[in-house]
């Protein structure tokens, strides 16, 4: 009797898990796979919401991209931003994780504060930083008042300064995520390794180089890959901070896609550019992951 009851309970649990799995798969198909396929189909048409009929034009949208200077500029900006932010955010993440890897209450509070930028909406973060970085913002006011600047500096008004400013803001946001990842990796390192290192006289930077850094390899793979993918598809922070200016110098590829679709009404071409960005993101992610995975194995 008890065996039958246990079997029924197990079967009921399995049916419940199967139902949840089916629901998750259905949501995945509806909200990810289906839109991806529709966008892929649209990329082979001249789809325009202002036209009654859209025609199949083959690879015309893809061949047009070869001569699109705005697209090339947006890809260059996106790649520079992605790799620059990834390096800076991961370096900060390792440093913050080493500083916050303590068990006291004050350090636990500081961990929460360090993760706060990642929790906030990108739009809210961008609006806050915009008040700091504008011509008459808090940063220029403070620098002029203490005498470091004679007049306000255009942090968002010149191409190079705007790139630096966006990189600074995105790095600040991403550092919360990277800090948490490296903290988790640090706390997974067996204490016995540090004890043995102490007995062998290995301390300071030597211990970090020979023990801590190699053991952070799995966390590095996760953090670097997700950081790259996040910045490659960045849209909200750039839109609020600069809107792609000045003179489209800070226009990311994601922002260019939105402008094509909703300003120029070229949905078909925008879909083709979106497919290019998807392929580029996948290529970068797979390449970086492969390189870092090989590093994990070699260590």
Q: pLDDT, tens digit, for every residue of 18-58?
A: 888 999 999 989 998 999 999 999 999 999 988 878 899 99
Q: Is residue 201 domain-resident?
A: yes
Q: Are residues 14 and 63 in the same domain?
A: no
Domain CATH for 163: 1.10.3720.10
Helix (H, G, I), strand (E, B) or coil at 56: strand
pLDDT of 164 > 80? The answer is yes
Q: Rounded mean pLDDT of 210-224?
A: 88
Residue 28 lies in a domain: yes
Domain that holds residue 12: 1-32
Q: What is the pLDDT of residue 95?
A: 92
- Residues forming beta bridges with residue 45, ordered by sequence position: 56
Q: Is residue 37 part of a domain?
A: no
Are 13 and 91 part of one and the same domain? no
Q: Are residues 14 and 158 in the same domain?
A: no
Q: Which residue has the higher pLDDT, 106 or 85?
A: 85
28 plus 47 within the same structural domain: no
Instruction: Inform me whether the pLDDT recorded for 109 exceeds 90.
Output: no
Domain presence at residue 6: yes
Q: What integer best gives the mean pLDDT of the chain?
A: 88
Domain co-membership, 80 together with 53: yes
Is 22 in the same domain as 158? Answer: no
Residue indicated by tokens 């609006």: 127
For residue 123, what are the CA distances in angstroms to 117, 179, 192, 216, 235? Answer: 12, 22, 45, 32, 10
Confidence of residue 66 (pLDDT cuts 50, 70, 90): very high
pLDDT of residue 42: 94
The segment with the largest mean pLDDT, out of 109-118, 190-199, 284-293, is 284-293
In a shared domain, residues 87 and 16? no
Q: Which residue has the tokens 């402008």?
A: 259
Q: Is residue 38 part of a domain?
A: no
* Surface-to-core class of residue 159, CB atoms within 10 Å of its CB (0-12 exposed, 13-18 middle, 19+ buried): middle
Please tell me the predicted confidence (pLDDT) of residue 263.
Answer: 92
Say if residue 28 is in the same domain as residue 65. no
Section 141-158 average pLDDT: 91
Average pLDDT over residues 230-242: 94
Residues 15 and 57 reside in one and the same domain: no
9 and 115 housed in the same domain: no
The pLDDT confidence band at residue 6, using thresholds 50, 70 and 90, is: low
Q: Say yes or no: 243 and 276 in one domain.
A: yes
Query: Could you give the C-alpha distances from 3 to 6, 10, 17, 131, 156, in angstroms and in order?
Result: 5, 10, 21, 68, 71
pTM for the complete prediction?
A: 0.88
Evaluate whether 197 touches 213 at the Cβ level (below 8 Å): no
Residue 110's pLDDT is what? Answer: 83
Number of structural domains the chain divides into: 2
Query: 85, 78 in Cβ contact below 8 A?
Result: no
One domain for residues 92 and 196: yes
Q: Which of 107-111, 239-243, 268-272 has the lowest mean pLDDT?
A: 107-111
């Amino acid at each position: 009797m008890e065996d039958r009851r246990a079997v029924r309970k197990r079967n009921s649990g399995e049916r419940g898990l199967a139902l949840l799995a089916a629901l998750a798969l259905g949501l995945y198909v509806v909200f990810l796979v289906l839109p991806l396929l529709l966008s892929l189909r649209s990329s082979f048409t001249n789809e325009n919401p202002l036209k009654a009929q859209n025609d199949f034009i083959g690879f015309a949208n893809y061949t047009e991209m070869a001569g699109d200077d705005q697209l090339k500029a947006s890809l260059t900006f996106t790649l520079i931003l992605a790799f620059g932010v990834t390096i800076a955010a991961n370096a900060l993440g390792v440093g913050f994780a080493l500083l916050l890897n303590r068990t006291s209450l004050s350090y636990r509070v500081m961990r929460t504060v360090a993760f706060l930028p990642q929790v906030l909406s990108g739009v809210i973060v961008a609006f806050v930083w915009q008040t700091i970085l504008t011509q008459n913002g808090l940063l220029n006011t403070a620098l002029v008042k203490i005498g470091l600047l004679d007049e306000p500096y255009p942090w968002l008004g010149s191409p190079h300064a705007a790139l630096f400013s966006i990189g600074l803001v995105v790095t600040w946001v991403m550092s919360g995520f990277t800090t948490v990842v490296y903290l988790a990796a640090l706390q997974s390192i067996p204490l016995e390794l540090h004890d043995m290192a102490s007995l062998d006289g290995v301390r300071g930077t030597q211990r970090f180089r020979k023990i801590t850094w190699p053991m952070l390899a799995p966390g590095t793979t996760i953090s670097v890959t997700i950081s790259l993918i996040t910045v490659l598809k960045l849209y909200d922070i750039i839109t609020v901070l600069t809107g792609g200016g000045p003179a489209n110098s800070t226009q990311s590829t994601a922002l260019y896609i939105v402008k094509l679709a909703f300003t120029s009404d070229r949905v078909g071409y925008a879909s083709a550019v979106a497919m290019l960005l998807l392929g580029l993101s996948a290529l970068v992610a797979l390449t970086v992951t492969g390189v870092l995975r090989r590093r994990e194995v070699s260590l």
